[in-house]
């Protein structure tokens, strides 16, 4: 099978864009060693991608096209191009990617599907902060759309009305989009990687806990943009991951049940990663976010969980592709 591992070429003038060339080359090598005719393919935009699909017509695409700083509409648009060209690809549909990129829509789907998620509301006008009435502080304020914790920093958690007003104004002006205001769940944070067992069923890999043990006193324990991407920041240096997480059997089962329900309501395909918070007071579980196209680089939490399950990096890449192949074969 001819497999193209497609990624967006790095713009040298955009230091924020992730360089996927090395990851794509490694993944293509793993797939070739497994018997596929795989090669990395970098594109610099939609036109070049369309030209490549028309000319080369790969049997399958392993899509790594991504963007940071909230520009994750690229995910949805690229996947829609694959659909238009009837190209088979790994991962969720353009619809699912679009739904999960909008936190307001995701939360509405969670509530409709009985998935526990923090209470929240959308503020699209600074003069309409009364819509937050009824939500208990502290609050966390995020841009409505975006991935990779874009727009989330230590100032995102606010404790009073003046802090709330300032942060909502910041999101509206800086990010030029509505703000999502949620009740902040004080407690532990976990992320759960999923691999498909069939077109509608997933298995969960060992649960990863995000540890904030070295955070400064009074600093909110959140997995912010800096903690994920800014290697020289205090948050990055003070954050670590542990897998498997230390969990009693009851709490572990509640987390797994919540993330599997979330995967179902957004129609996740092949693989994904779901973030949850567990409230300190009563161990209640809340789904925070669904990552329908998560990072599966060698140093990612997804691969950390895969290794804890006994899989190598190469094995998890090949298994994700096989999940997609099996899904299409079943149609």
Domain coordinates of the chain in residue numbers?
2-89, 102-116+186-207+243-329, 120-183
Give the SS3 label for residue 12.
Answer: coil
User: Does the structural domain 120-183 have CATH classification 3.30.1490.20?
Assistant: yes
Q: Would you state the pLDDT for residue 225? A: 80
Sheet of 37-43, strands arranged across? 37-43, 2-8, 60-63
User: Does the structural domain 2-89 have CATH classification 3.40.50?
Assistant: yes
Distances (CA, A) of 277 to 118, 121, 146, 286, 312: 9, 18, 19, 5, 28
Q: Would you state the pLDDT for residue 199? A: 74
Q: What is the pTM of this model?
A: 0.93
Residue ranges in the chain modelled with pLDDT below 70: 11-18, 66-74, 330-331
Q: Would you state the pLDDT for residue 40? A: 97
In whole angstroms, what is the distance from residue 96 CA to residue 115 CA?
Answer: 17
In whole angstroms, what is the distance from residue 199 CA to residue 331 CA?
Answer: 9
Q: Would you state the pLDDT for residue 249? A: 95
Q: Would you state the pLDDT for residue 67? A: 47
Q: Would you state the pLDDT for residue 77? A: 86
| DSSP code of residue 150 | T
In whole angstroms, what is the distance from residue 286 CA to residue 188 CA?
Answer: 11
Q: Would you state the pLDDT for residue 126? A: 81
Q: Would you state the pLDDT for residue 265? A: 97
102-116+186-207+243-329: what CATH class? Answer: alpha beta
Q: What ranges in 149-196 are assigned the alpha helix state H?
A: 161-174
DSSP-derived secondary structure for 95-123: HHHHHHHBHHHHHHHHHHTT-----EEEE
């Amino acid at each position: 099978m001819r497999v193209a591992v497609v990624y967006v070429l790095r713009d040298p003038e955009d230091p924020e864009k992730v360089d996927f060339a090395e990851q794509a080359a490694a993944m293509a090598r793993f797939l070739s060693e497994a018997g596929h005719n795989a090669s990395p393919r970098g594109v610099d935009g939609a036109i070049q991608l369309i030209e490549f699909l028309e000319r080369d017509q790969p049997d399958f695409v392993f899509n790594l096209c991504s963007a940071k700083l909230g520009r994750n509409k690229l995910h949805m648009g690229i996947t829609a191009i694959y659909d238009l060209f009837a190209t088979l690809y790994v991962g969720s549909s353009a619809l699912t990617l679009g739904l999960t990129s909008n936190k307001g829509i995701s939360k509405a789907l969670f509530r409709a599907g009985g998935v526990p998620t923090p209470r929240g509301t959308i503020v699209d006008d600074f003069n309409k902060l009364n819509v937050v009435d009824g939500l208990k502080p502290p609050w966390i304020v995020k841009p409505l759309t975006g991935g990779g914790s874009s727009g989330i920093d230590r100032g995102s958690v606010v404790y009073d009305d003046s802090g709330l007003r300032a942060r909502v104004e910041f999101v509206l002006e800086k990010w030029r989009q509505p703000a999502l205001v949620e009740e902040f769940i004080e407690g532990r944070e976990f992320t759960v990687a999923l691999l498909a067992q069939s077109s509608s069923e997933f298995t969960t890999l060992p649960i990863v806990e995000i540890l904030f043990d070295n955070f400064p006193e009074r600093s909110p324990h959140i997995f912010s943009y800096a903690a994920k991407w800014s290697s020289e920041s205090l948050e990055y240096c003070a954050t670590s991951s542990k897998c498997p997480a230390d969990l009693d059997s009851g709490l572990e089962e509640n987390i797994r049940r919540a993330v599997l329900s979330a995967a179902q309501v957004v129609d996740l395909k092949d693989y994904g990663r779901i973030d949850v918070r567990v409230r300190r007071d009563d161990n209640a579980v809340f789904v925070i976010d669904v990552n329908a196209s998560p990072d599966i680089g060698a140093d990612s939490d997804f691969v950390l969980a895969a290794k804890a399950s006994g899989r190598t990096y190469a094995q998890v890449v090949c298994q994700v592709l096989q999940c997609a192949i099996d899904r299409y074969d079943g149609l």
